[in-house]
Structure 1
């Protein structure tokens, strides 16, 4: 059963007999109680639940809980099953969209304007002075389309597959192009 019980059992066997029988009995009860408790803790520790990891946002977005609530409220109800419209999201697309926002809210430029596609995917539009970005989140992928204000003839298009190990880097590469130059160009040191 593990190190906790083998150690406590060893202590019980190596116990030195005391002259006082009452004290020896009490000692034995405490040692047996400690062994049972250690064994129970070991069993409890083995049945720990593993929860999904959500990274801590360095600059939390105050709009994130509101957006998540809107997405949850937009899941297609069972009574409308099969009747897709731009009012409802599929459950899979909603879960994917919530994950998208949770893992990338600190990289996104502003609070998005949300709506659904006819097939139940989520569309999020972001508008800033530096440009606009549209993301389409489905259960399989996220498509990012951005148009920087300084280069409207050079739109940015990226597809991020669900479960990508480089999600944050891919999202950052698009949003960075929308915000680069915001603080002005720096001259090299001379």
Structure 2
């Protein structure tokens, strides 16, 4: 028996398989041979179907909207968000060097830069600005920590932190013996 390729085998009785010529699905025309004929609908029936369609869409939107309102306005547990003002000293419980707490403050020049970066009138409470500048100040603490580890003393006034050329300079250093805190005022 001569076989013509491509072949497709259909299942028949378990004892015998017959070769059947393969027909590609894209070889058949996409549109049916019989054109689509719309069913005539009266004007009254059309308006009734349109009103039903609109009502179903409106009801579906109302159900969705009610679920969203319930989601947005249902009482949730409050999220504790610590708002740090940029004019207050930056501090962290981890910023300790030999039982002394380290704090950082920004100079007037850096506060002016922060005010220019913020779009809100209360720029000193802007959480984005506080987070951005807080990241740089965390880098400053790591620099102070590395300086203390290398030289066994803290940086002095005039020293630059984390970069010799573009790093922030220590403008002032104040020590509070009662609270065991050292506050560095930073300038650019």
Q: Same fold (TM over 0.5)?
A: no
TM-score normalised per structure 1: 0.28
> Which protein is bigger by CA-based radius of gyration?
2
Normalising by the residue count of structure 2, what TM-score does the alignment of the two structures yield? 0.28
